[in-house]
Structure 1
Amino acid sequence: MTDSPSPALGRVGIWTFAHEGQPAARVRESAAEIEELGYGALWYGEAFGRDAVGQAWLLLSATRRMTVASGIANIALREPRTTAAAERTLGEAFPGRFVLGLGGHRVDDTVHVVDGYPVPGLGRAVPTMRAYLASMDASPAHGPRPDPAPRRLLAALGPKMLGLAAERTWGAHTYFVPVAHTERARRLMGPAAFLAVEQAVVLDHDAARAREVATAHVAGYLEAPHQVASLRRLGFGDEDIVGGPSRRLVDAIVAYGDLEAIRRRVDLHLAAGADHVCVQVLTADPSALPLREWRTLAPALVPHPGTADGNG
């Protein structure tokens, strides 16, 4: 683990898909409030709402200090030269505040149809990502250069991608992982690479209701081969995966219950080697902004500015 967290990200941030379905004005209001609550970074996914570049610009323009990070921008959807140009533009317009997370989950050369939309395959994951990074670096650059240069992270689960993240970028952004994976990732990447870990949480004192939301979240990712492969490497078997997630698997992936349960899980990731934990709040309505939960969690998870672990 690095000696101290990046001063730009702090130790705890917010990760959310919920902004994709919201009108731009609502996104701006929400992002500004997340910043005022003291969270060090705002992470967002890229599915079939806004594209990663447009969403970054919207979030960055609505905030003043907070880091905005793609988690992740899908390399299957854009050419390396286009990504490099967007990275430079965002980095120059918002100095030191944009982190480019890159990834892509399709690992063959066929065209996949997702929600009726054809998406090209990527080929083998690690060689493809290595070549993509090289192409980004070789892209011609004209006009102003960002200072400092934007940081890059790779979506990484397996040992080879974690190794590439440590070798070629600032570090790794891990998603849908238990604390045991954070321990492994830190050992594999060494002490210098930055490690940003997503942690799904359900803030609800009703344990049965919270577990129901958590189980639905985990079940959805068992359709993704790369996530199943990651879980199997960590010792989860058919009894945990086939026919729906086991209680053991749900409890490992999602922290649910009261504030203390969630704070304890975040602290475990930090102790295991994470530099930054981005909390994804789950609710019964995935399309709704979990503003109440973000507000409630902030005093428990975000150190007061000026303390030893504060974001400022």
Structure 2
Amino acid sequence: MTDNGLGRIGIWTFAFDGRPAARVRDAAAEIEELGYGTLWFGEGFGRDSVSQSWLLLSATRRMTVAAGIANIALRDPITMAAAERAINEAYPGRYVLGLGGHRVSDGPIEMDGYSIPSKGKAVASMSAYLAAMDAIPLGSAASPYPPRRVLAALGPKMLALAAERTLGAHPYFVPVEHTARAREAMGPDALLAVEQAVVLDTDVSRAREVAREHVGFYAGGAPHQVASLRRLGFGEDEIAQVGPRLVDAIVAYGDMGAIEQRVRAHFDAGADHVCLQVLTARPGEMPLAEWRELAAL
């Protein structure tokens, strides 16, 4: 097991989208000073993955910044490869490119009224995309550090591809059982950087409701996540009704002790790195207070 410069604990967030760049810089600098090893960010309809990477790296001095993930359906391989090299050269050793295709399918996917283009079968598309990135004859300056990539892998075939062709996997929306399965599938040497959603709130009823809303969002509208839950043994009714066993498996909620217990469970199951996505009852705010408290981990 290895951390590959990510540290043991990181932050994963969508909270930077919609925030002014100055506030994002300040928050990233504080996250670094709090001691987190890596800052992960998602990509939706806010800043694109490349521009967000530049912004966060420019605001920090030593912390790793990781794209979790850059969607291959939205960029030609030459665009992604050129951006990866440029970021690596400007911030050597501090960038991890997470690649995924969670919107990749046999046909276009509608998201908030926008049609996301299809790339075909997920594993075959990802394999071809990685090969294309490696084959492009880039003429820009190269970093002394080799590029670092991970895949947003859930199923056994994508996990195997992650272990074979990249540093490893960045599973999202997974319970501890998936971490154990992923480690077994990838072997002992591949990086396993697991996202863990948390609600740091001693009002357990309120925390559980926040957790249930998060789980319901993915269980109700993300086919790849639903397929993963089925592989893990969750039933159709449990998924459709966002049952309590499912909520408890996906989200750690309660006090610091509950969060620490879940993080330790992922490490015991084979994770190298756990990045915490803070969920709150204040979705319009950056969870600065929670990031500060969780830094004790």
TM-score, with length taken from structure 2: 0.98
Structure 2 equivalent of residue 30 of structure 1: 27
Distance 1:114 1:142 in 2: 36
Alignment of 1:233 onto 2:231: yes
Distance 2:20 2:180 in 1: 39
Structure 2 equivalent of residue 219 of structure 1: 216
Aligned partners of 1:96 and 1:148 also within 8 Å: yes
Aligned partners of 1:75 and 1:102 also within 8 Å: yes
Structure 2 equivalent of residue 58 of structure 1: 55
| CA deviations over 1:63-110 (Å, ceiling 9, x no partner) | 000000000000000000100000000000000000000001234342
Structure 2 equivalent of residue 112 of structure 1: 109
Structure 1 equivalent of residue 121 of structure 2: 124
Matches within 5 A, 1:137-148: 137-148=134-145
Matches within 5 A, 1:147-226: 147-222=144-219, 223-226=221-224
Distance 2:53 2:94 in 1: 10
Letter in 1 for 2:147: P
What stretches of structure 1 move > 3 A for 4+ residues in a row? none
Distance 2:76 2:141 in 1: 21
Structure 2 residue runs without a partner (length 5+):
none
Distance 2:108 2:144 in 1: 38
Distance 1:80 1:271 in 2: 36
Structure 1 equivalent of residue 290 of structure 2: 293
CA drift at 1:187: 0.2
Matches within 5 A, 1:65-84: 65-84=62-81
Secondary structure of the structure 2 residue equivalent to 1:18: coil
CA drift at 1:140: 1.4
Alignment of 1:283 onto 2:263: no
Q: Percent identity?
A: 68
Aligned partners of 2:200 and 2:255 also within 8 Å: yes
Most deviating of 44-53 and 144-153? 144-153
Number of residue pairs the alignment of both structures matches:
296
Aligned partners of 1:73 and 1:100 also within 8 Å: yes
Distance 1:127 1:67 in 2: 29
| CA deviations over 1:235-278 (Å, ceiling 9, x no partner) | 10023112x21100000000000001001100110110000000
